[in-house]
Amino acid sequence: MGRGSKIIIVSRLQRLARFGSVKPIFLSAMSYDELRYLFKALSFGSEDPTEHPQLVQIADEFAKRFHGTEGSLVATNAYADVLRRNLDVKFWRCILDKGMRMVKRNLAIYGMHPNTLMYHGHPVDMTDFALHPLSMTPYSASFSVKKESPSVTFGGLITDPSVRPKGDFTLIVWESRIPPHKSFPKSVTSCAQVAHQGSVMPGRKRQGVPI
């Protein structure tokens, strides 16, 4: 490493601050206005939001759903990437409705928001995205992505459920457009209804699954 080079440590672990040579910067969660601005910027891209007032209203609904949930930044990017490809009111409303149904289903089954479940490494029911019982879990350090496993993008699955492989597969929730293009893969199994048995989070009561 050349003279004058610096290493920036980004981590959720505060104890790593002791390795730094300068005062650490602690980032707080984004405010609603900040998240709303980011989501619209990502969703509309080079388009002028003022020319799409109905889409702006739907974007505000997305921001309200994301704000205050753990893992909201990945969800913001994942949904925005899908919406940016089709600036159609019916399409945006359809994606929002699917997301709301998934949230309600996971709250009914696990008693927690799906973003929170994923953030803590718990399975998430994503039946409403694929129109088929599916359970999604994050890959761990001890369980790496299988190269031979078929993969599907989040955008591909939510817009066209027919792309779902018959067996287990890898879901690419989102891939950064900025080098080194970090991706967020998840393991998906076609057995959500089995995984639900006895899977209520500690301290949570099982509720009826919304239809």
Average pLDDT over residues 122-149: 78
Indicate the range of 6-15, 110-119, 159-168 predicted with least confidence: 6-15
C-alpha distances in angstroms, 203 versus 6, 53, 110, 111, 193? 45, 42, 10, 9, 21
Q: Which two tokens stand for residue 204?
A: 């949570």
In which band, very low, low, confident or very high, does the pLDDT at 196 lie, cut at 50, 70 and 90?
very low
Given CA atoms 157, 160, 163, 166 in this order, what sign does their dihedral have?
positive
Token reading at 106: 């996971």
107 with 113: CB under 8 angstroms? yes
Closest alpha carbon to 172 in 122, 125, 138, 134 = 138
- Average pLDDT over the chain, rounded to an integer: 84
pLDDT exceeds cutoff 90 at 210: no
Sheet holding 135-138, edge to edge: 124-125, 135-138, 183-189, 169-175, 151-153
CA dist 63 and 70 (Å) reads 13
Phi, psi of 165 (to 5 degrees): -65, 155
Per-residue pLDDT at 172: 92
Spatial separation of the C-alpha atoms in residues 154 and 171, rounded to whole Å: 6
N residues, the chain: 211
Q: What is the per-residue pLDDT for 158?
A: 93
Of 70-74, 162-166, 172-176, 207-211, which range is least confident?
A: 207-211
Is 36's pLDDT higher than 50? yes
pLDDT at 141: 45
**What does the alpha-carbon distance between residue 209 and residue 206 come to, in Å, rounded to a whole number?**
9
pLDDT of residue 30: 85
